[in-house]
Amino acid sequence: MDYLNLISIPSIATIVYWIINIIKYTLNNNENFKRFIPLSATLLGAIFGTVAYYVFPEIIPAPNLIVAILIGASSGLTATGFNQTIKQLSKYSEEKQGNKSSTDSQN
């Protein structure tokens, strides 16, 4: 059952990531919401950490509620960081393709 401890943080991060993306999509990428994405992800993660602590105590590696909240909150921030990683990598890829096409057109 120790392997269950390994899935709690990625599970919370994945759930928070998709909930934030769904909210962004339903709000049509509202700029006001985008400012509060890290805070929203942290709060969602803390909520999911609390729920996991009480509903699935064998999944979350926390000896008490405070640690479960911190694990959930950090998982929510992990979702934000993952989103930014994807965004920056796609931006880098687009810039690289733009430079390649401009070099090809000059030749």
Range of the domain at 19: 3-106
Helix, strand and coil in the chain, % to nearest 5: 85, 0, 15
pTM of the model: 0.78
Over 60: is that where the pLDDT of 107 sits? no
Residues 70, 65: Cα–Cα separation, whole Å: 9
Residue 80: C-alpha distances to residues 44, 55, 57, 72, 107 (Å): 11, 25, 25, 13, 41
As for how many domains the chain has, the answer is 1
Residue 84: what pLDDT? 85
Average pLDDT, the chain: 86
User: What is the phi/psi pair of residue 81, to 5°?
Assistant: -65, -40
